[in-house]
Amino acid sequence: MSITKHDWTKEEIIAIYNKPLMELLYEAATVHRQHHDPNVVQISTLISLKTGGCSEDCGYCPQAKRYHTSIKTNDLMTVSEVKEQATKAKESGSSRVCMGAAWRNVKDGTEFDQVLEMVRTINKMDMEVCCTLGMITENQAQRLAEAGLYAYNHNIDTSEEYYKEVISTRGFEDRLETIANVRKTNITVCSGGIIGMGESIEDRAGMLVALSTLNPQPESVPINALVPVEGTPLEEEKPVEIWEMIRMVATTRIVMPETQVRLSAGRINMSREGQAMCFLAGANSIFSGDKLLTTPNNDLNEDMKMFETLGLKNQQPFAKVNQRESIEAVDSKFPALGEKPKWTRPGHTIERNLEASTKGK
Ligand code: SAM
Ligand code: DTB
Ligand code: SF4
């Protein structure tokens, strides 16, 4: 078994990304089978706990309230609604549930307490439970860990340089700080990004440098292809070519050999053959269900047929890291601190974000 390298440079990663495709695929597939069963892919389900109305200006995101998109917004779901969706997900083969909220950061209070209860509920259903709620403090991470959270998703999205062209309301360093807060607990880290936002190959490599030089590396890295949504600043970006997705997955696999590489948003535009090449390149997870958070996803029956055709098996829950214990709220050792952390707000001007927010007014 190879030893995981933590000092990848941008030049090394660009050289891997640009290899002749057959060589890149062979190398990635070789690393993949040293660390994972190549016939096993995890099925995960997204639940959008709180949809839209977000204060931030992330250029890709249909949930930012300043852009004029046609998504249906929703206040925080109830615990029983979440339980019902998680039950359906389990019945259709998912071993992991990822709950997302359109928040800049978590605020202590009844809504967070409700999310903690959702975490306990899903963990007790013996599924891996992941949350993506925006920035969190160390105390909030500890409270999520106590509730039995298995993973926290917080994407760095792109390179530090290109991040400034996409988001002005929250800083790259805050993303890293949240990831560090998660790391202080026993919650596993899920962090990845998006390709197809107009970034260069250097930016894609820069993102992978930032992730692969973390020690330990994230246990989970989602690779999303931008879903361009009408009304967002990135609505006119041209679709990512399948070859770019394959190269990105393969490069991620080589630089982070033990990580779960998740073929995430944008799968709806990929052929079965394209997806098969992504699995060969090292992707070992998909999101299933007809919706991601707000945008359409692949049909479940089609996904099941694909699994059958390719001879793929569902990954069992907790195959990589043991299940966590859920401590009840009354037994908590981490009371809410009610902190008011000063997450940064760079506030520089991004022309296309400004234009999209004023358009249609
Ligand atoms: N508000 C929280 C946050 O920003 O961390 C959690 C939810 S946010 C929607 C989760 C991730 O979804 C983002 O970091 C981004 O990587 C991805 N995402 C959002 N919109 C997308 C789009 N249109 N295409 C691809 N990925 C997208
Ligand atoms: C991630 O990296 N991709 C998922 C999950 N983490 C939360 C979200 C994709 C969202 C795509 C756009 C939407 O449906 O709103
Ligand atoms: Fe809000 Fe998250 Fe969307 Fe940014 S990505 S606008 S923080 S929901």
CB of residue 102 inside a 6 A radius of ligand 1:
yes
Average pLDDT value for the chain? 97
Q: Choose the catalytic residue: 170, 262, 267, 324.
A: 262
- Per-residue burial over 200-215, b if 16 or more Cβ lie within 10 Å, else e, is ebbbbbbbbbbbbebe
Nearest ligand, measured from the Cα of 134 = 1
State the pLDDT at residue 78.
98
CB of residue 264 inside a 6 A radius of ligand 2:
yes
State yes or no: is 131 an active-site residue: no
State the pLDDT at residue 261.
98
Residue 62 reports pLDDT greater than 90: yes
State the pLDDT at residue 359.
86
Residue 3 reports pLDDT greater than 90: no
Burial of 312 (0-12, 13-18, 19+ CB in 10 A): buried
- Give one DSSP letter per residue of 186-245, joined into a string: TPEEE--EEE-SS--HHHHHHHHHHHHTSSSPPSEEEEEEP---TTSTTTTPPPPPHHHH
Residue 1 reports pLDDT greater than 60: no
Q: Cα-flanking dihedrals φ and ψ of residue 168, to 5°?
A: -120, -10
What are the tens digits of pLDDT across the range 192-219? 999 999 999 999 999 999 999 999 999 9
State yes or no: is 190 an active-site residue: yes
* More reliable by pLDDT, 10 or 2: 10
Average pLDDT over residues 80-97: 97
Residue 131 assigned to a binding site: no
**To which residue do tokens 């358009």 refer?**
359
Residue 44 reports pLDDT greater than 60: yes
Residue 339 reports pLDDT greater than 80: yes
Query: What is the position in ligand 3's atom list of the atom closest to the CA of 54?
Result: 1
State yes or no: is 54 an active-site residue: yes
Average pLDDT over residues 303-325: 97
Query: What is the position in ligand 1's atom list of the atom closest to the CA of 229?
Result: 23
Between CA 223 and CA 206 the distance in angstroms is: 14
| Percent of the chain whose predicted confidence (pLDDT) is above 70 | 99
Residue 262 assigned to a binding site: yes
State yes or no: is 262 an active-site residue: yes
Distance from the alpha carbon of residue 323 to the mean position of ligand 1, in angstroms: 26
Closest to 116 (Cα-Cα) out of 79, 84, 151, 87: 79
Work out the number of other CB atoms within 10 angstroms of the CB of residue 7: 9
Query: What is the position in ligand 1's atom list of the atom closest to the CA of 102?
Result: 1
Residue 54 assigned to a binding site: yes
Pocket test for ligand 2, best of 128, 132, 219, 291 (most atoms within 8 A of CB): 132
Q: Is the peptide bond before 218 cis (omega within 30 degrees of 0)?
A: no
Query: Which domains are present in the chain?
Result: 10-319 (3.20.20.70)
Q: Choose the catalytic residue: 120, 183, 190, 324.
A: 190
What are the tens digits of pLDDT across the range 251-300? 999 999 999 999 999 999 999 999 999 999 999 999 999 999 999 999 99
State the pLDDT at residue 342.
87
Residue 143 reports pLDDT greater than 80: yes
> Which pLDDT band holds residue 2 (cuts at 50, 70, 90)?
low
**To which residue do tokens 């998740």 refer?**
262
Longest dimension (CA), the chain: 58
CB of residue 62 inside a 6 A radius of ligand 2:
yes
State the pLDDT at residue 360.
62
* More reliable by pLDDT, 253 or 341: 253
Query: What is the position in ligand 3's atom list of the atom closest to the CA of 104?
Result: 7
What are the tens digits of pLDDT across the range 146-159? 999 999 999 999 99
CB of residue 166 inside a 6 A radius of ligand 1:
no
Residue 348 reports pLDDT greater than 70: yes
For residues 288 and 62, the answer to whether their CB atoms sit within 8 Å is no
